[in-house]
């Protein structure tokens, strides 16, 4: 049965990638949450999609240039609405402390260039220390990050993220599926726009999970459900639930 994953938490209702957004995702009925992990100047793990805090906080600058204490001084809620004034950027540890509410979490590790191995090691150690009992999928657009995860612990579930363009033509899509197979990754994360049932069937024949992202419209959600995707990573959790129950 297809699982519903709330993309960056329920960020229509609360500031994206924050504790309030993740709690709202649970209230909305999501099976799990997807979020992005980055590393600060002092090697702490924080949750934020963009490499800068410009769009999501009252500050400006790159996450890698701030310490955790400095980042905690910025307001990550006020730009969403006054209701969330003084919402702070969460650490991975803080998110994992509420993750027991969910069946599954998808941790996207953002590429850190020369610090890739450091962030991967810290993320894995943090998750293990928390003893989360649900499923964990580690994903990234950066294959070097994925290979590092595999090198450090080949029992972990690894998902390769792909852009919309990566599946825009059949030959490209099949080439990328072969790339996932060749690396023995357990999951593939394509955009919903060009995903076809035949791609899902090819992946399932090889025991590869298909976790699509970008399925928000009724048409795309229906298409992904019909194709048999394992996870739908969406901004519209309630809409997916309505479609699955109709």
Measured between alpha carbons, how far is 107 from 84 in angstroms, rounded to an integer? 24
Sign of the alpha-carbon dihedral angle for 112, 109, 237, 189: positive
Query: Is 7 labeled as catalytic in the residue annotation?
Result: yes
Give yes or no: 49 in active site: yes
- Taken as a whole, the chain contains a residue count of 246
- Among residues 7, 80, 189, 204, the one annotated as catalytic is 7
* Residue 10 and residue 21 in contact, taking contact as beta carbons nearer than 8 Å: yes
Determine the 3-state secondary structure of 177 from DSSP: helix
For the chain, what is the largest distance between any 2 Cα atoms, rounded to a whole number of angstroms? 49
Helical H runs in 60-196? 68-71, 92-96, 116-130, 143-152, 170-182
Closest CA to 176 of 221, 136, 150, 141: 141
Q: How many Å apart are CA 21 and CA 14, to the nearest integer?
A: 5
- From CA 179, how far away is CA 210, in angstroms rounded? 14
Residue of 160, 153, 216, 147 lying closest to 186 (CA atoms): 160
Six-digit token string for 63: 């996450």
Q: Which residues are catalytic?
A: 7, 49
């Amino acid at each position: 049965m297809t699982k519903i994953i709330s993309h960056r938490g329920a960020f229509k209702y609360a500031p994206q990638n924050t504790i309030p957004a993740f709690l709202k995702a649970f209230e909305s009925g999501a099976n799990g949450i997807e979020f992005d992990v980055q590393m600060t100047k002092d090697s702490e793990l924080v949750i934020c999609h963009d490499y800068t805090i410009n769009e999501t906080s009252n500050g400006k600058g790159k996450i890698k240039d701030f310490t955790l204490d400095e980042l905690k001084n910025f307001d990550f809620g006020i730009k969403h609405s006054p209701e969330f004034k003084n919402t702070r950027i969460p650490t991975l540890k803080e998110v994992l402390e509420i993750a027991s509410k969910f069946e599954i979490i998808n941790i996207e590790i953002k590429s850190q260039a020369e610090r890739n191995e450091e962030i991967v090691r810290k993320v894995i150690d943090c998750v293990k220390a928390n003893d989360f009992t649900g499923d964990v999928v580690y994903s990234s657009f950066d294959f070097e990050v994925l290979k590092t995860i595999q090198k450090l612990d080949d029992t972990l579930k690894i998902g390769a993220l792909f852009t919309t363009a990566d599946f825009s033509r059949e030959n490209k899509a099949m080439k990328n599926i072969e790339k996932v197979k060749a690396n023995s990754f357990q999951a593939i994360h394509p955009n919903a726009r060009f995903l076809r049932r035949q791609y899902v069937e090819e992946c399932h024949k090889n025991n590869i999970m298909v976790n699509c992202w970008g399925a928000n419209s009724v048409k795309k959600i229906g298409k992904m459900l019909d194709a048999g995707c394992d996870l739908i990573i969406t901004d519209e959790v309630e809409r997916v639930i309505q479609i699955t129950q109709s």
